[in-house]
């Protein structure tokens, strides 16, 4: 099950912690990847690592998601390389945290531009070739805070909630053409940043999670691989929460 052999995928933020595990999960199921990110050297090293594992010949496409022209050129570049695009994963995102009364306009604008607007542009660009092919999977990485909110993250929570609304709208527009659009919403995921936290702080975080631990990036990747599969054809407009029970949302 969940064999992605013969499918072409574009993953943004592909060299980051969660992004790289999403890429590994898709590649592990046989997909060929266009890996996108803003750090060309890091992206190239990751692409070489994936290709060294054998299988598909993955490619890298450097893109600064804050630059509108580069965003508009990303899906066409993937199509020029592969000839078709079956899977789009909107994973890239940034944070510019601060309390509302201290948040600068530029911090609001940057998060909305990269986390929300860039995803809209990529969804719009991918929709046409997917509709023509009568097959496609659009998976967008949101966050538990898009549903619950979080102090100091008004911009980030707004962007993530906006992604959910966009996805639901797009899902209704594309469903009759065999194209699905879904979200994966991680909770607390273990990263290099969380590993550096004091044990007391990590214990406090884990106490909020019924599973008693933070999630692993691989668990987010597995959720994306499922939603990208042919078997997930009857699932659209949904958010799959990967948070260990921290927020049990209907």
Nearest to 139 by CA among 156, 158, 119, 159: 119
Catalytic residue list contains 234: no
Residue 47 near residue 24, CB atoms below 8 Å: no
Handedness of CA 190, 118, 63, 9 (dihedral sign): positive
Of the residues 46, 108, 156, 188, only one is catalytic, namely: 156
Question: Phi/psi zone of residue 178: left (φ > 0), alpha (ψ -120 to 50 degrees), beta?
Answer: left
d(CA 118, CA 92): 9
Exposure b/e, 86-110, CB count within 10 A at least 16 = b: bbbbbbbbbebeeeeeebeeebbeb
Query: Could you tell me the two tokens for 6?
Result: 């013969």
* Beta carbons within 10 angstroms of residue 45's beta carbon: 12
Whole-angstrom distance between the N-terminal and C-terminal Cα of the chain?
27
CA distance 154 to 117: 16
Catalytic site residues? 156
């Amino acid at each position: 099950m969940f064999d992605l052999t013969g499918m072409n995928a574009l993953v943004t933020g592909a060299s980051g912690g969660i992004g790289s595990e999403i890429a590994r999960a898709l590649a592990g199921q046989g997909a060929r990847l266009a890996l996108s990110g803003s750090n060309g050297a890091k992206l190239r090293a990751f692409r070489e690592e994936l290709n060294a594992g054998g299988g598909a010949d993955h490619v890298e496409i450097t893109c600064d998601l804050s630059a509108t022209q580069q965003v508009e050129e990303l899906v066409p570049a993937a199509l020029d390389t592969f000839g078709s695009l079956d899977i789009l994963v909107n994973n890239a995102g940034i944070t510019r945290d601060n309390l509302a009364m201290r948040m600068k306009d530029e911090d609001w604008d940057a998060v909305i531009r990269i986390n929300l607007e860039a995803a809209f542009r990529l969804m719009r660009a991918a929709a046409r070739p997917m509709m023509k092919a009568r097959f496609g999977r659009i998976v967008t990485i949101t966050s538990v805070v898009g549903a619950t909110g979080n102090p100091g993250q008004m911009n980030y929570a707004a962007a993530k909630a906006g992604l959910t609304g966009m996805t639901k709208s797009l899902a209704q527009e594309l469903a009759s053409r065999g194209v699905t659009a879904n979200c994966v919403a991680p909770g607390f995921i273990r990263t290099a940043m969380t590993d550096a936290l004091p044990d007391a702080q990590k214990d406090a975080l884990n106490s909020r999670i019924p599973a008693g631990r933070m999630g692993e990036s691989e668990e987010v990747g597995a959720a994306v691989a499922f939603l990208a599969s042919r078997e997930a054809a009857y699932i659209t407009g949904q958010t799959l929460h990967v948070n260990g029970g921290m927020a049990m949302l209907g």
